[in-house]
């Protein structure tokens, strides 16, 4: 199973989630604890106030202890109100009317001893209990006071759920905002991306001032890489041209040896070697002239460059060959040197074998750039065409006509742009080369047509 494509946005989102979830859990726990603590402190303070009122209402009349009901809150006088009290001493006790038939256990406490805790009450009730030992009139009492807090607990849990939902919604909003901020931040790289894709840098990437500081080292590295690549291409092409020039003198010596050779068979073999080498050297010199001054990244303008190519490839060849062209008015968004090498080699091959007519067409077809070059020459047998369509096969290794070195170079250039390179029989009777190259940034995968024409 293939791993998912790495995404900086996904990594930041995961990191933010890992940060927010524990933070929100801590916040939720803190708020829950704080709200519960504040509410409990308030209820305990209120119970303490009620306890003081009940202690004050505890009086002795006719030798018996009783509660002055007029000094006690009315919630203790109605049945099952959720507010209860018991005053207990020795074997006697005074109970609030609100308890009715409830009989909670009350432990006797020493004077000054205070307890407050929570316990399960009758039915679904949950009691918050205040228990205090007091002494009044030389008599020890234990005051037990309880309040039902089940409704408060239910409301607290309800508010906690609301808060949890709120934090969840807030998390989603933060993630969406973070996504927008990230894309807004990366949008500042779009100008640099477009320059690299469309080849508007004239041999170098110009790092603009509005590039973010965080990615400026990457942009500088790209700039240096492109400049270094351009220099390498320039040196490589210059070295190829120089090598071809340097080989001309040894080639002349080879011809002299062939002329002086007495044996007819050896002389013919040397002459054949001379012809093959001269053809290759002339081809390389023509390619060097076609490429001209290397300028990696500069766009190819067919209206300006094609006439120059035609002039070069037609030198010393038959004037009977006519070229029909259909060219776009705008520049092609591909590297000038690559297009010069591609179209120059195809025109050179076509001119070498054409009898009277060559057709060149460059256009936009369904979003791709389509290039077609056809001639009325002898063409290539279908058996050879099917072999030449195979990846990694060079036509010069399959034919004695030297058709193939240029085709191998052209196929390599097209594949570097994720394009399609196809050979087929021309309507004119010779060979037709069809090329489709996707627009820069179209996200196409590398294609190659392996079908027979």
DSSP assignment string, 187-256: GGGHHHHHHHHHT-STTS----TTS-TTTHHHHHHHHHHHHHHHHHHHHHHHHHHHHHHHHHHHHHHHHH
* Total domains, the chain: 3
- Termini Cα distance of the chain: 36
Alpha-carbon gap, residue 133 to 96, rounded angstroms: 18
pLDDT for the residue numbered 373: 92
Residue 371 has pLDDT above 90, yes or no: yes
115-128 core/surface letters (b: 16 or more CB in 10 A; e: else): eeeeeebbeebbbb
State whether 20 and 111 are in the same domain.
Answer: yes
State whether 103 and 209 are in the same domain.
Answer: no
Residues 233-253: pLDDT tens digits? 666 666 666 666 666 666 666
Residues 69-110: pLDDT tens digits? 888 888 888 998 889 999 999 888 999 998 888 888 888 899
Domain boundary among 244, 266, 297: 297
Domain boundary among 122, 154, 186: 154
Alpha-carbon gap, residue 390 to 394, rounded angstroms: 9
**Cβ–Cβ < 8 Å for 144, 88:** yes
pLDDT for the residue numbered 452: 33
- Per cent of the chain over pLDDT 90 is 10
360 or 297: whose pLDDT is higher? 360
Measured on CA atoms in the order 110, 112, 116, 122, is the torsion positive or negative? positive
Lowest mean pLDDT among 158-162, 281-285, 354-358: 281-285
In a domain, 168, yes or no: no
Mean pLDDT, the chain, integer: 78
pLDDT for the residue numbered 453: 32
Alpha-carbon gap, residue 262 to 37, rounded angstroms: 117
At 247, list the tokens.
């080989």
pLDDT for the residue numbered 121: 85
Alpha-carbon gap, residue 419 to 440, rounded angstroms: 11
In a domain, 224, yes or no: yes
Residues 281-314: pLDDT tens digits? 666 665 655 555 444 556 788 888 888 888 888 8
pLDDT for the residue numbered 196: 63
State whether 225 and 363 are in the same domain.
Answer: no
Domain of residue 343: give its range.
299-453
What is the reported pTM? 0.45
Across residues 376-397, what is the average pLDDT? 65
Angle among Cα 302, 308, 313 to the nearest 5 degrees reads 115
Burial tier of 44 (Cβ tally within 10 Å: 0-12, 13-18, 19+): middle
Distances, alpha carbon 234 to alpha carbons 23, 229, 286, 344, 399, in Å? 57, 9, 16, 18, 30
pLDDT for the residue numbered 107: 87
In a domain, 359, yes or no: yes
């Amino acid at each position: 199973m293939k791993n998912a494509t790495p995404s900086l946005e996904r990594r930041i989102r995961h990191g933010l989630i890992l940060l927010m979830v524990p933070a929100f859990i801590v916040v939720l726990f803190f708020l829950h604890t704080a709200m519960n603590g504040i509410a409990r402190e308030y209820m305990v303070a209120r119970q303490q106030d009620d306890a003081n009122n009940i202690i004050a209402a505890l009086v002795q009349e006719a030798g018996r202890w009783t509660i002055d009901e007029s000094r006690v809150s009315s919630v203790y006088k109605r049945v099952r109100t959720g507010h209860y009290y018991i005053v207990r001493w020795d074997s006697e006790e005074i109970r609030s009317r609100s308890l009715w038939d409830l009989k909670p256990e009350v432990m006797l406490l020493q004077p000054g001893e205070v307890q407050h805790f929570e316990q399960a009450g009758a039915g679904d009730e949950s009691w918050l209990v205040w228990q205090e030992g007091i002494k009044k009139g030389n008599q020890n009492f234990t005051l037990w006071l309880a309040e039902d807090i089940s409704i408060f607990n239910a409301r607290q849990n309800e508010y906690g759920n609301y808060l949890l939902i709120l934090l969840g919604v807030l998390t989603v909003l933060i993630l969406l905002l973070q996504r927008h901020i990230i894309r807004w931040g990366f949008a500042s790289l779009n100008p640099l991306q477009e320059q690299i894709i469309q080849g508007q840098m004239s041999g170098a990437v110009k790092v603009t001032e509005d590039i973010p500081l965080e990615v400026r080292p990457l942009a500088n590295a790209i700039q240096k890489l492109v400049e270094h690549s351009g220099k390498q291409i320039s040196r490589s092409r210059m070295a190829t041209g120089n090598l071809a020039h340097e080989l001309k003198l040894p080639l002349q010596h080879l011809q002299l040896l062939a002329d002086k050779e007495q044996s007819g068979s050896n002389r013919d073999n040397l002459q054949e070697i001379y012809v093959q080498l001269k053809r290759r050297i002339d081809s390389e010199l023509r390619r060097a002239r076609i490429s001209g001054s290397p300028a990696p990244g500069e766009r190819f303008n067919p209206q300006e460059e094609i006439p120059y190519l035609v002039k070069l490839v037609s030198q010393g060849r038959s004037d009977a060959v006519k070229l029909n062209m259909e060219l776009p008015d705008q520049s092609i968004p591909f590297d000038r040197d690559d297009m010069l090498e591609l179209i120059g080699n195809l025109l050179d091959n076509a001119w070498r074998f054409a009898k009277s007519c060559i057709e060149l067409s460059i256009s936009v077809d369904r979003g791709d750039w389509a290039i077609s070059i056809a001639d009325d020459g002898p063409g290539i047998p279908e058996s050879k065409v099917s072999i030449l369509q195979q990846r990694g096969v060079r036509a010069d290794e399959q034919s004695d006509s030297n058709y193939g070195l240029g085709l191998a170079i052209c196929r390599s250039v097209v594949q570097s742009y994720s394009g399609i390179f196809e050979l087929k029989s021309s309507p004119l009777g010779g060979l037709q080369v069809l090329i489709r190259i996707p627009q820069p940034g179209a996200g196409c995968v590398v294609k190659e047509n392996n079908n027979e024409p």
